[in-house]
Structures are given as C-alpha cells and as structure tokens.
Chains A and B, each alone.
Chain A
Amino acid sequence: MLNVALPKGRLGDKVYDLFARIGYDCPAIHEDNRKLIFESPENGVRYFLVKPSDVAIYVELGAADVGVVGKDTLLEHDPDVYELLDLGLGKCCVAVAALKGYNGQMDTTLRVATKYPNIAKEYYARQSRKIQIIRLNGSIELAPCVNLSDVIVDIVETGGTLKENNMEILARITDVSARLIANKSSYQFKRDSIEHILEKMRELI
C-alpha cells in the first residue's frame, strides 16, 4: 500500500488527476464529505488530504511515502526528503514586492513581511542587507499598505493582488512549481512502486 499526501485544494485536485491517470484511481475521493483519508485497496493506494504546507512533514516523518508540495515550502523548510520530479503544476514565483514608488533606502533596517522567513533571510544575507523579519500567515500584501513593513516576500501567481493593492515586484527570488517528494526510507522499500509512478508521470507531463 502506497501512502500519498495530497495538498488540499485546487493543486491537490490536479495532482490527484495525475495519479488517477497513471492507475492510482480512488473513487472514494470524489464523495462529498469531510473525510481526510481515502483508500483504494485494489489499486494499492491511500491518499491523505493535508494542508499544503504540511505535506513535507507527513513525508519526512514517514506517515506518507510520497507527496506533492510546492518548491516554496521545500526551500523554506528544507525537509530531509528526496525531491524526485517537477510536476510543472502550480507555477508561480517567490518575489520581493513593495508599494509602487518605494525608493528602497539602504541606510535603514529593511522591514520584510513574509510567511517565508528562511527564504527572505537567505536572499538578503546574499546581499549583506540588514533586515527585520515580520512573520505573517496571510494577507501579506496588507503589511506595506499599513506601514507594517517596507517590502514583502511572497508567492506571486498572476500579480493581480499586488496590482489591486498598488504594489509591484522589485525582484524575483525563485520560480516555484509543485514537486513530487518521497520519504527516504520508503524509497528504499517501495522503490519499484515509486519509480513506476515517476516513469508514468514523466510521460504525462
């Protein structure tokens, strides 16, 4: 039985479709209920629906053998897992953004609002820039509007939210997409199943 951690939401639906197309269908997942575990014994697969940022934890600690997670989460938390495949889904980028017209003065400590403190710290450390991290969990774009921060480091998909809040991208830090990851121990014992998934998915994407 292969345990798969899927991120809840739109990305999870797309990822499940990929798994279903390569033979890991689990009809129960389409039922309209609040279950978080779905199992298909005939296809040898069990799906867990978890918060996207938690997928890597489930996989690293072995509750799931494989999972799908954004590269942003992998960069932020650096879990000890194998990153086996770029699924090319959920493409976006992690970027620095600020209110339009922000002049970026260099003589003060830069206040950075973000839910990615490690990515932000590493980015500014490379520039030897002194920063103060303001750790937020959502609505990051609000921070510069209410003078909570000078800039934000956040995921940018279409740039629509930035535009609506009178903000613009200052720099792209890294491109992001969904990655298939595997627990290092599970890979040793379920190598054939995991390699089979990889091979089939490579054909699809």
Chain B
Amino acid sequence: MIQLTDCLKRDEQAVLYLRGLYERWGYSKVNVTDFEEYDLYADNRNFFGERNLLTFMNADGRAMALRPDVTLSIIKNVPGEGRQAYKLYYVEDVYRFSKENNEYRRQEQIGAECIGGDPDYANLEILGLALESLGAINERFVLSISHLGFLSGLLDSLNVQQEIRSALIRLIHGKNTHDLQQLLAATDLDAGQKERVAALCGLSGPFEATLRMAGEMARGPVMFQAVEELERLYQAMADSGLGGYLSRVQLDFSVMNDLDYYNSLVFQGYIENLPKAVLTGGRYDNLMKKLDKQRGGVGFAVYLDELGRYFGADRSYDYDQVIFCKGHWDEAALVSALRKLTAQGLRVRVEDAQAFPEVHYTYRDLFTFENGRIERGFVPSDPDRGGDV
C-alpha cells in the first residue's frame, strides 16, 4: 500500500498530519457555520482584534457577519457548565480585514480548543499539542510563552488612567523601551514602579533564566501567582516528555492578547524563515465569563496560509513524469501506463505531444507515447524506436 498523502503538497500533508495528531490526542473535529449573528462579533470585537466585520442581511432581515474567528462559534455552542471537558479541533476559513491589502481576505486555520476540565492539565495538554504541531512543521521553531497575570498584576498596581495603561501595554508589546521610558518619566509613579515596568519591557529569553528574573521583580499576589503557575508549567513540560522541546520554548512578556478576554497563559509559535507567527493561542477564561459560561477554556490556531507560502517553494517540479502522446490516442494503453506509474506513487500527467513546446509546468522525467510504445525523452520522429508500455 503506497503512502496516500505522498503526492500532496507539503502544506496539505501538514494539515492531514495535524488532524491525525489532534484525533490521536482525543480531540474531535467540529464544523461551524460560515457566518454568525453580527452581535456575537460586535460585542466581542477586541477578541479577534479586527477593525471591521464583513456584514450582510440574511433572509429574515437580521444582521449577520462572515466568521472572523472560530473560537467564538465553538464556545457559543458548548454547554456553560458540566464536568466533561470539550476537546475539539477545526479546519476552517475565517474572513479578516487585511491592512496590507486594505480589503477582506479569506484565511484558513486549523486549531484545537479544550473547554472545561482541570485548567493546569488542559494548559499542558494544549501546549503539548502546540509544540507537537510546530515540531511537525519544522523542528526549527520557537514557542514564546507569557502569562498575562504578571502584566495585569503590575499594571493594576500602578493605578494609572486607562489611556496610559493602554499606551504602556502597546509599548511593552512592541519591546519599545525608549518611548516607554519617556512615557514613564511624564507620570508620577515612584522610582520602583517605573523601574519594574521598564524591566518588564525587556523581559524575554530562555524560559528558566527569564522566569527567575520575573520572580525577582514580582510584587503582590497576582504577579506571584503568575510566576508560580509558570514554574509549575515549566516543570510539568520537563516531566511530561516534552523536555526535548524546552530549548525552543522562550518566556517573553511582550507576547500578549487582549486582557479583557485572555487572563493567564498566552503563546505564539514561530518557524524559522517565516516572517510572522504561525501559531497563536492562550487561556481565555475571561471570554468564557463574558459569554456566560461557568468554566474556562484554552486553545490555539495555526495559520495555514503562512504554511502554504512556506512550503510553496518546496517542490522542485510539478510532476514526476509527463507522457506526451503522439499520433493516435490509444486511450486504453495510455490509462494502463498511467495506472502502472501512479501505483508507484508517482505524479504523472498525460499530454498531447503538440502541446510540448508550450507547456508551462515542470517535470522530472519526460516520455513519448506513440503506436502503443513508450520511450524516455521527447521523440520528434522515428516511431519505430522505443520499448513496450
């Protein structure tokens, strides 16, 4: 039996591999509708960080929007209470506004969500899946983890106006220490507070060392709890067999998501030579509360468009073999040849010999079919040469 996915592009193979991975870890595939009522998104606009929604009226005159995010649709349909955890994954399109193109774009995502259950266990399981997902794409990856409790604990202790708080968050997110210093200088925070905020801005690097520094600058129960959760998480990763990945896990407090929705663990995955994060995720208990659900949730999404570009240049040719048919189309013999070759797992294309000068695709091997015989290379004349099919 040949490997069924060998002939697919590598990004397509990656999707199948990830689906298999999530199934093996006990996650079930879920399909969600392409659009939801506008209100669902309008009320939670910051969750998916979109400026605009692609909206339309449905047949009843209700305002609808094309789905900019899958997690909201999944959460909406999961019972608000109960002991059983919901472990779901999806492969879906989302429609988002693209700043670069100044218009909406369809993007394909694959993602996993664990709703309910023991939060520490769910965090580790989802992080494990995220690490396995990145590792399956390329072993040269980095997963940057942060804990929003650490950030919000620090910001809450400052008691600054919302406008300054937002500016601080933006600058920490951009690792912009110089403008942050300038902003801090204009506030009446005490020297210790200013020092801690500035220190947080640059706090990133190997997990263990960075966590030690975070522990030293923590003040108050919220920050200490964040440090403790991160310590537990790190230890659990090391003890769970995920230790091989730990050199690729960084702690980086500039990683963040909207604090109104995410509350603790957040993370982003990068693949070398891909300019943007290919995976983002985190624990969104605050969003669950907003949607009147009495339990927490954690999950991530992988951006498949990014992978398509990444693997796009991966194939050196479009087909393994092209058979150019000259003269009479002996369809039975041609299909018979095609079946023999494809049974070996090859990608084969049959083409009219007259098209030979103008084909735009690339191939590894070239054959000519004429009078029931097939011969390597393109044969312009002399039909007597060649071997049997």
Partner of B270, one of A82, A84, A86, A189: A189
Is there a chain A Cβ closer than 8 Å to B9's Cβ? no
Please indicate the chain B residues that have their CB under 8 angstroms from the CB of A83 in the complex. Answer: 174-176, 179
Interface: A80 (CB within 8 A): yes
The answer to whether A189 touches B272, judged by C-beta atoms less than 8 angstroms apart, is yes
In the complex formed, the residue of B with least CB distance to A88 is B178
Question: In the complex, which residues 79-113 of chain A have their Cβ closer than 8 Å to any Cβ of chain B?
Answer: 80-86
Chain A residues whose CB sits within 8 angstroms of the CB of B174 once the complex forms: 81-83
- B273 / chain A contacts, CB cutoff of 8 Å: 62, 185
Q: Does A184 contact B (CB under 8 A)?
A: yes
A191 interfacial by beta-carbon distance below 8 Å = yes
- Is A61 located at the chain interface by the 8 A CB criterion? yes
* Distance between B194 CB and nearest chain A CB, rounded to angstroms: 18
Given contacts A188-B142, A189-B140, contact A82 B175 (CB under 8 A): yes
Cβ B175 vs Cβ A84 within 8 A = yes
Within the complex, the shortest CB–CB distance from B351 to chain A, in Å, comes to: 37
Q: Residue A183 at the B interface, CB < 8 A?
A: yes
Q: How long is the Cα–Cα vector from A11 to B277 in the complex, in angstroms? A: 31
| Contact of A25 with B by CB under 8 A | no
CB distance from B209 to the nearest CB of A (A): 13
CA distance A30 to B177 in the complex (A): 33
Min Cβ gap B4→A in Å is: 32
Residue-by-residue, is B65-80 near A (CB-CB < 8 Å gives 1, otherwise 0)?
0000000000000000
Q: Inter-chain contact count A-B, CB under 8 Å?
A: 48
Q: How far is the CA of A82 from the CA of B273 in the complex (A)?
A: 17
Cα(A5)–Cα(B144), bound, Å: 25
Q: What mask results when residues 256 to 274 of chain B are scored 1 for a CB within 8 Å of chain A, else 0?
A: 0000000000000011111
A72 at the binding interface (Cβ < 8 Å): no
Which chain A residues numbered 159 to 199 have a C-beta less than 8 Å away from chain B? 179, 183-186, 188-189, 191
Tell me what chain B mostly uses at the interface: helix, strand, loop, or mixed.
Answer: loop
- A62 lies within 8 A of B254 (CB): no
B250 on the interface (CB 8 Å rule)? Answer: yes
Given contacts A83-B176, A86-B178, contact A62 B275 (CB under 8 A): yes
Q: How many B residues have CB within 8 A of the partner chain?
A: 21
Nearest CB on A from B307, distance (A): 14
Question: Please, which residues of chain B bring their CB within 8 A of the CB of A62?
Answer: 273-276
Residues of B within 8 A of A183 (CB): 275
- By the criterion CB–CB under 8 Å, are A188 and B144 in contact? yes
Judge whether B82 is part of the interface by a CB distance below 8 angstroms.
no
Q: How large is the interface on A (under 10, 10 to 19, 20 to 34, 35 or more residues)?
A: 10 to 19
Verify if B312 is at the interface (C-beta below 8 Å from A).
no
Q: B205 near A: Cβ within 8 Å?
A: yes
Interface string of A59-91 (1 = CB under 8 A from B): 011100000000000000010111111100000
User: Measured between alpha carbons, how far is A80 from B100 in the docked complex, in Å?
Assistant: 11
- In Å, the complex CA distance between A111 and B179 comes to 31
Closest to A84 in B: B175
A185 engages B274 (CB within 8 Å)? yes
Please state if A82 and B276 are interface contacts (CB–CB under 8 Å). Answer: no
Q: Which A residues touch B271, using CB under 8 A?
A: 185
| A185 touching B275, Cβ below 8 Å | yes
Question: Closest CB of chain B to A62's CB: distance in Å?
Answer: 3
Known A188-B142, A188-B270; contact A80-B276, beta-carbon cutoff 8 A? yes
Which residues from A are CB-within-8-Å of B178? 85-86, 179
Q: Which residues of A contact B176 (CB under 8 A)?
A: 82-84
Mark each residue of chain B from 165 to 181: 1 if its CB lies under 8 Å from any CB of chain A, else 0: 00000000011111100
Interchain nearest-CB distance for B162 vs A (Å): 15
The CA-CA distance from A183 to B271 in the complex, in Å, is 13
What chain B residues lie within 8 Å of A191 (beta carbons)?
205
Chain A hits for B175, CB < 8 A: 82-84
Q: Is the CB of A189 within 8 A of B254?
A: no
Known: A82-B254, A189-B270. A61 touches B275 (CB 8 A): yes
- In the complex, what residues of B have CB within 8 A of residue A60's CB? 275
Can you list 27 A-B pairs with a CB-CB distance of less than 8 A? Answer: A60-B275, A62-B275, A62-B276, A78-B99, A80-B276, A81-B174, A82-B174, A82-B175, A83-B174, A83-B175, A84-B176, A85-B178, A86-B179, A179-B178, A183-B275, A184-B270, A184-B276, A184-B277, A185-B271, A185-B272, A185-B273, A185-B274, A185-B275, A188-B144, A189-B142, A189-B270, A191-B205
